[in-house]
Amino acid sequence: MTYRSLQDIVVLCVDRYVERRWTLRDCLDRYPEHAFEITEMLSLCDDLSAHAPEPMNRQELAMGEQELIAELDRYVAARWRGFSLGSLLMGLGTAAVKSRIAVAASALMVLILAGGSVSLAATLSGPESVLYDYKLVLEQVQVELAPEAEKPRLYMQMAERRLDELENLAEGAAPEVSRKISRNYDAFVSSGLATLQDLSSANMGVAVPVFAASRRDYLEELENHRDRLETFAKEKRAYTEEVQGLIVLAGASLESVPTEPPEPIAQTIVTATPAPVQVGIAPDAGESTDGGAGGSDGSAGTVSTDTAPEGDPTPTAAPSPTPDLLALPQTEIHGTVTALGTTALIVDGRRVIADTRLVPGLIVIGSPVVGSTVTVAGVVRDDGTVVATAIRAEVVGPTPSPTPTQTPVNTPTPTETPPQTMTPTPGPVESLEPGGARFATEGLVVELSPDEMVVGDLTISLEAGEDGEPVLITGGELVVGATVQVEGQVLAGNVLVATTVVVVAPPAEGGEPEETAPDGGDADGGATPTPTAESDGTPAPDPTSEADTSPTPAEPDEVTATPTPDPEDETAAIATPTTTGTPDADATLTPAAESDLTTITGEVEEIGEDFIQIAGQIFQIVAGDDGTLMGVTLELGDVVTVRFEVQADGTLVAISIVEGAESGPTPTPTPTPTDPPEAEGTSEETGDEASG
Amino acid sequence: MGISGESGKSQSDDLDEIIRSATRLDRDAFGQVYREFAPRIHRFVAYRTNNRVLADDLTNQIFMQALRAIGRYQHRSVPEFTAWIFRIARNAIADHWRRNREHVSLDPDVHLKDHVDDGADFRRIENADMLAEVLVHLTPEQAEVIAMRFSQGMSHAQIAAILDKKEPAVRALQFRALTTLRSLLTREPAE
């Protein structure tokens, strides 16, 4: 019989009791000397369970779900419209934002009570006043307190005030002020539209006449706004960029107003699963004839395929998003962006809708700005509007790339290095999921910093999300000059965020000697990445081939030709998986049994049923005789070495896991320890139970 | 549908797929995720706050926050998602208390003892209010462990994932919490 402390005994009994594996009697039989403590503790456990709150009832659950879904619709609509007033306005209806508004309103009330005239000052304050933000909050509260069906009209009222402010803005006012007004106008118009879409949702239970009245109010106001904006643009010729953007916004919003009877957005998305997303994206798509010099007469720059009839690009009937995009003629246009809104742009006078609610798999490569040249693939509506399925913006000015990697979408240019290509993420269904705009590209890394890299002409963020999920970098070391395949997501504002980066080829010898990967140190002053032991310096495009020979973190100074991780930064040193060298490499290199295996050494951060996490990367553990060889019983915090394989889809599959930093030529896997059924107990406990 | 993988692999796989769809802001999937997890989150919050109305509001907030953050969540497994959403819940509760300064001072008459005498009178917890009264004497982490263990029936491994701790640490937290509560509920025999 092994000795157990009272604490061990109580913990054991409590756990068994809570898990209903032992009764009180079982505990007392085993540990009669502690009957008093055990009895009280288990009584306490009973009480702690007995007075747990009642679960939510069905009605509460249904109400919560309804509110959440309404919020989701608003969020999706606002997100893709480049909502700009931020969380203040975006989360209307949420308790969190309500409380923020309430706090702000309370602050305003204090000001009112304290100063008396402050509220009046706030309501009269112009956009350059310090009270302007309070005024916006006050307006927001006014809308928030109104009945749902009234909100679209009120939002437009608030938007109209922004128009007034823009028209009255003194010439020479700071550009930030006009931009601020424009953003707020955008936010109010978008909020109004999102509310209308909520009202149109079947589960909102709004009567059709009520919805119709709200819709009419919104449309009338918006059409009026567009007229005012166009007049303003002609007469004043001030703040051209903002005003043009707002005109586009107004037009796009008019088109997005839900029709009667209400049609849920989600349904539209599902039915709009167009093959056209593929149009013109693949490198071998039909070649576009270059135009690019279209005028402002309403004609597109260049239309390369069967296009729709030319017509007034300004719709008058405000059609809803059509579900059968598939049936529309496909087109590709190439030209200059003359105006840019949040969900639409004008390319040489032709209106292009770029809205992920219509085409959830919309691919945007580059950052279209006014003046930039773009290639747009999409379909043509009857009114001549192009609904984009893919947009590629070309770089204005010289390409920063050391090699000509910038390749127009449909004009493949043979280069020595792999051209940067733009491909949709495989799987049309997945790529068309709502909010799932994704991108994939391949090319040379021409610039690299800890938070972003430039691949060809694309700037791609490498920053981890707020939940700390790091970008998965596999295949080798990410350095300037390397050829990489990148997949990721296109966020609002066309920000490209990488989710996976596969280094398919290291830099060619002699190229870009100064720059190193963000976390990479420089042991010998020369940061030139070394090709593989067998390499002749020619970058190998095969992602599974040997990329480079890197030392194990334990003995970094044994290798002089390879960028060495900073020895002081242990995390950085072990965070990047290194492709192992060949068996005859230097003894300090981690040899691999097979050339396409890689290893990583690090602390176990997380363990799941079929995975292990090290340095933020997930390695799948495969069960069975041919599965992962386990040389260690996994515990959080242990340092282990994982030998793994990179699958074609980027998944990392553990081949073997051994304790500590790998030192031998091949890990000696021991049989997988079987998890005892009483795994949460101590070894003493197991022995105890076995004897019992 | 099981959410802890206990009720069959296929159901767990289904939930995996639903969560993946929810990360892409699919309406139906998000609704299903809510139906799966909201009752557990609500019960956890209610246990920690002893206020059902507040629990309604906070549960709502938690899912609104999840909605905004789910685009950045990369789904790997249901337990991981459970840990993720419970972490949001913990933060929401902590934020609420920070905002509202609901600090309940310890009862000066309560003297915690390392050892409870055999002859002492051990009181039972009679209702939810009394439960809430004694729980405020625990540290936030101890109270969270108690809430997850006794209102949810979570395993130490699940709790460890949520608290980002190792299982032995969770066991120790539970033991200290129970010892504290037992001490609080024990009255000295009348002299």
Best CA proximity match to B151, nearest among B61, B79, B49: B49
Do residues B93 and B143 make contact, with C-beta atoms less than 8 angstroms apart? no
Question: How many whole angstroms separate alpha carbon A107 and alpha carbon A205?
Answer: 35
- Measured between CB atoms, which of A52, A75, A489 is closest to B67? A75
Q: Is A470 on the interface with B (CB under 8 A)?
A: no
Best CA proximity match to A167, nearest among A187, A183, A182, A188: A182
Residue with the two structure tokens 């997850």? B148
For A245, the 3-state DSSP assignment is: helix
Best CA proximity match to A340, nearest among A251, A448, A415: A251
Q: Which own/partner pairs from A682-688 qualify as long-range (CB within 8 Å, at least 24 positions apart)?
A: A682/A8, A684/A2, A684/A4, A684/A8, A685/A4, A685/A8, A685/A12, A687/A2, A688/A1, A688/A2, A688/A4
Alpha helices (H) along A515-579 = 570-575
Tokens of A633: 């019983």
Predicted confidence at residue A469, as pLDDT, reads: 54
Tokens of A352: 């292009």
Q: Is B124 on the interface with A (CB under 8 A)?
A: yes
Predicted confidence at residue B87, as pLDDT, reads: 92
- Measured between CB atoms, which of A18, A65, A618 is closest to B31? A65
Question: How many whole angstroms separate alpha carbon A197 and alpha carbon A192?
Answer: 9
In angstroms, the separation between the Cα of residue A680 and the nearest Cα of chain B is 8
Indicate yes or no: CB of B38 within 8 angstroms of CB of A94.
Answer: no
Which chain A residues are within 8 Å of B186, Cβ to Cβ?
40
What is the Cα A688 distance to its own chain's centre? 51
Alpha helices (H) along A466-584 = 570-575
Predicted confidence at residue A444, as pLDDT, reads: 82
- Measured between CB atoms, which of A47, A61, A266 is closest to B39? A61
Q: What are phi and psi of B100, to 5 degrees?
A: -100, -5
Tokens of B25: 């802001």
For chain A, the first-to-last Cα distance in angstroms comes to 9
Residues of chain A with confidence (pLDDT) below 70? 1-4, 78-125, 130, 170-172, 201-206, 260-326, 339-342, 356-357, 360-361, 366-367, 394-439, 457, 464-470, 490-495, 508-597, 624-626, 648-650, 661-692
Which of A38, A65, A638 is the best substitution to test chain B (most B C-beta atoms within 10 A)?
A: A65
Residue with the two structure tokens 């042991």? A523
In chain B, whose CA is at the least distance from the CA of A491?
B71
Predicted confidence at residue A357, as pLDDT, reads: 64
Question: How many whole angstroms separate alpha carbon A356 and alpha carbon A321?
Answer: 11
Predicted confidence at residue A125, as pLDDT, reads: 64
Predicted confidence at residue A594, as pLDDT, reads: 38
Predicted confidence at residue B10, as pLDDT, reads: 61
Indicate yes or no: CB of B57 within 8 angstroms of CB of A95.
Answer: yes
For A496, the 3-state DSSP assignment is: strand
The Cα diameter of chain B in Å comes to: 67
In SS3 terms, A13-79 reads as HHHHHHCCCCCHHHHHHHCHHHHHHHHHHHHHHHHHHHCCCCCCCHHHHHHHHHHHHHHHHHHHHHH
**pLDDT tens-digit map of B99-126:** 776 444 444 344 444 455 555 677 888 8
Q: Is B161 on the interface with A (CB under 8 A)?
A: yes
The reported pTM is 0.36
Predicted confidence at residue B188, as pLDDT, reads: 57
Q: Which residues pair with A137 in a beta bridge?
A: none
Q: Rounded to 5, what percent of chain A is helix, strand, coil?
A: 35, 20, 45
Q: Which of residues 482-501 of A touch B (CB under 8 A)?
A: 489, 499
Q: Which residues contact A111 (CB under 8 A, 6 or more apart)?
A: A118, A119, A122, A134
For A520, the 3-state DSSP assignment is: strand
Question: How many whole angstroms separate alpha carbon B118 and alpha carbon A442?
Answer: 73
Interhelix angle A175-200/A58-80, nearest 10 degrees: 140
- Rounded to two decimals, the ipTM of the complex is 0.81
Indicate yes or no: CB of A18 within 8 angstroms of CB of B153.
Answer: yes
Question: How many whole angstroms separate alpha carbon A41 and alpha carbon B179?
Answer: 8
Which of A5, A8, A13, A40 is the best substitution to test chain B (most B C-beta atoms within 10 A)?
A: A40
DSSP 8-state class, residue A424 = P
Give the other-Cβ count within 10 Å of A260's Cβ: 12
Q: Is A25 exposed, middle or buried (0-12, 13-18, 19+ CB in 10 A)?
A: exposed
Best CA proximity match to A656, nearest among A598, A587, A580, A584: A598
Q: What are phi and psi of A120, to 5 degrees?
A: -65, -45
Q: Is B22 on the interface with A (CB under 8 A)?
A: no
Predicted confidence at residue B35, as pLDDT, reads: 93
Mean per-residue pLDDT, B35-52: 92
Which chain A residues are within 8 Å of B95, Cβ to Cβ?
none
Question: How many whole angstroms separate alpha carbon A410 and alpha carbon A286?
Answer: 7
Predicted confidence at residue A641, as pLDDT, reads: 83
Interhelix angle B140-152/B78-100, nearest 10 degrees: 130
Question: How many whole angstroms separate alpha carbon A688 and alpha carbon A691?
Answer: 5
Which of B13, B24, B35 is the best substitution to test chain A (most A C-beta atoms within 10 A)?
A: B24
Which chain A residues are within 8 Å of B170, Cβ to Cβ?
none
Question: How many whole angstroms separate alpha carbon A222 and alpha carbon A159?
Answer: 9
Question: How many whole angstroms separate alpha carbon A590 and alpha carbon A595?
Answer: 11
Identity of the residue numbered A430:
E
Do residues A650 and A474 make contact, with C-beta atoms less than 8 angstroms apart? yes
Under the banding of pLDDT at 50, 70 and 90, the label for residue B19 is very high
Q: Which residues contact A666 (CB under 8 A, 6 or more apart)?
A: A591, A593
Q: Which of residues 82-141 of A touch B (CB under 8 A)?
A: 91, 94-96
Give the other-Cβ count within 10 Å of A173's Cβ: 17
Alpha helices (H) along B4-155 = 9-23, 27-49, 52-69, 78-100, 128-135, 140-152
- Measured between CB atoms, which of A19, A52, A96 is closest to B47? A52
Q: Which residues contact A595 (CB under 8 A, 6 or more apart)?
A: A545, A546, A582
Under the banding of pLDDT at 50, 70 and 90, the label for residue B90 is very high
Q: Is B141 on the interface with A (CB under 8 A)?
A: no
Tokens of B180: 């504290």
Predicted confidence at residue A536, as pLDDT, reads: 37
What is the Cα B105 distance to its own chain's centre? 22
The dihedral built from the CA positions of residue B170, B172, B176 and B178, taken in this order, carries a sign that is positive
Interhelix angle B78-100/B9-23, nearest 10 degrees: 50
Residues A84-120 as b/e (b if ≥16 CB within 10 A, e otherwise) read: bbeebbbbbbbbbbbeebeebbeebeebeeeeeebbe
Which of B12, B21, B59, B64 is the best substitution to test chain A (most A C-beta atoms within 10 A)?
A: B64
The dihedral built from the CA positions of residue A332, A337, A339 and A340, taken in this order, carries a sign that is positive
Residues B108-118 as b/e (b if ≥16 CB within 10 A, e otherwise) read: eeeeeeeebee
Q: Is A67 on the interface with B (CB under 8 A)?
A: yes
Identity of the residue numbered A584:
D
Q: Is B90 on the interface with A (CB under 8 A)?
A: no
Which chain A residues are within 8 Å of B153, Cβ to Cβ?
18
